[in-house]
C-alpha cells in the first residue's frame, strides 16, 4: 500500500563529526578570551591606562584641584583687600591671622570633598557636553559654597555667608572649566600628570587673576 522508503546512509565523516575531537579545547579557549574581554584586559582603554607614565585618578585629581582652589582663591581675595587697606594696625594683623586660618580650613575642606566631587563629575560623562555643562557648574557651585562656608566660620557668620557666596561662584566656574578639560583628556577616569597640572593651575590662576583685576 505504501511505497518503499529508501534511506540513504552517509559516512560520519561527511557531517564533519571527525572535527569534534578538539571542540572542548576550542570552547575553553573561547570562554577564557570572553572572560578576559569582560574584565577589561583586552580593551584598548585599559591598555592606554597601563601605558600612562604618571596617571592620576579622578578622586585624587579633583581633591588636589580643590586644595588649589581653596588656597589660592581666598588668598587672591585677601590680597586685594589687604592691598587696599594701607598700613596695618594690631586689629588688622589679628584679622590677617584669622583669614589665613580660614584659608587653611577652606583648602582642607576643598581637598577632602573634592574626592566626592570627582565621582560626581565623572557621572556627567554619560551625558553630552551641552547637557553636562550646567551639571558641572552646579556641582562646582555646591562644592565651592560648602568649602567657602566652612572656612568662613572662623570669620563669624558674615564671613561664612560671604565665603559661601564667593565660593559658589568661584567653584562653579572652576569646576566647569576643569571638568570639561578633564572630560576630554581622561582615560578610564585617570589623567596624565602632565595634563593635570597645567589644567588645574591654569584654571585656578586665570580665575584668581580675574578677582585681582589683572
At residue 36, the pLDDT reads 47
Same domain? 41 vs 60:
no
Judge if 39 and 61 occupy the same domain: no
pLDDT-based confidence at 63, cuts 50/70/90? very high
- Residue appearing with cell numbers 579633583: 62
pLDDT band at 77; cut points 50, 70, 90: confident
Place of cell 568649602: 147
Q: Do 42 and 103 belong together in one domain?
A: no
User: At 14, is the pLDDT very low, low, confident or very high (cuts 50, 70, 90)?
Assistant: very low
Q: In terms of domains, do 63 and 142 share one?
A: yes
Q: How confident is the model at residue 2 (pLDDT cuts 50, 70, 90)?
A: very low
Domain range for residue 164? Answer: 55-212
112/36 same-domain check? no
Residue 79 confidence (pLDDT): 78
Q: Do residues 129 and 64 both lie within one domain?
A: yes
Q: Is the pLDDT of residue 136 over 50?
A: yes
Average confidence (pLDDT) over 170-180: 94
> What are the angstrom distances between the C-alpha of 39 and each of 143, 170, 187, 189?
34, 40, 16, 16
Is residue 8 in some structural domain?
Answer: no
pLDDT band at 113 (very low <50, low <70, confident <90, very high): very high
The pLDDT score that the predictor gives to residue 22 is: 57
Beta strands in the chain (DSSP E): 55-56, 191-192
For residues 146 and 82, membership in a common domain is answered with: yes
Give the number of domains in the chain: 2
More confident call, 92 vs 206: 206
Residue 7 lies inside a defined structural domain of this protein: no
* CB contact at 8 A, 193 and 56: yes
Tell me the per-residue pLDDT of 19-50, one tens digit each, with 9 for 90 and over: 545 566 666 655 655 554 444 444 444 446 56
Instruction: Identify whether residues 143 and 167 lie together within a single domain.
Output: yes
Q: Do 77 and 37 lie in a common domain?
A: no
Amino acid at each position: 500500500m505504501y511505497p518503499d522508503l529508501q534511506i540513504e546512509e552517509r559516512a560520519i565523516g561527511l557531517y564533519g563529526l571527525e572535527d569534534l575531537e578538539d571542540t572542548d579545547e576550542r570552547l575553553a579557549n573561547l570562554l577564557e578570551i570572553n572572560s578576559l574581554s569582560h574584565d577589561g584586559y583586552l580593551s584598548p582603554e585599559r591598555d592606554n591606562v597601563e601605558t600612562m607614565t604618571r596617571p592620576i585618578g579622578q578622586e585624587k585629581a579633583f581633591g588636589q584641584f580643590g586644595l588649589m582652589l581653596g588656597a589660592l582663591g581666598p588668598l587672591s581675595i585677601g590680597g586685594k583687600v589687604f592691598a587696599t587697606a594701607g598700613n596695618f594696625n594690631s586689629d588688622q594683623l589679628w584679622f590677617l591671622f584669622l583669614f589665613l586660618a580660614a584659608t587653611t580650613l577652606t583648602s582642607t575642606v576643598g581637598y577632602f570633598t573634592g574626592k566626592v566631587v570627582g565621582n560626581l563629575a565623572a557621572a556627567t560623562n554619560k551625558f553630552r557636553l551641552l547637557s553636562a555643562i550646567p551639571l558641572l557648574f552646579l556641582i562646582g557651585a555646591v562644592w565651592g559654597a560648602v568649602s567657602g562656608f566652612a572656612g568662613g566660620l572662623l570669620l563669624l557668620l558674615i564671613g561664612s555667608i560671604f565665603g559661601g557666596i564667593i565660593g559658589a561662584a568661584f567653584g562653579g566656574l572652576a569646576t566647569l572649566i576643569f571638568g570639561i578639560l578633564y572630560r576630554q583628556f581622561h582615560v578610564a577616569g585617570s589623567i596624565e600628570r602632565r595634563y593635570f597640572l597645567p589644567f588645574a593651575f591654569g584654571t585656578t590662576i586665570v580665575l584668581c587673576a580675574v578677582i585681582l583685576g589683572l
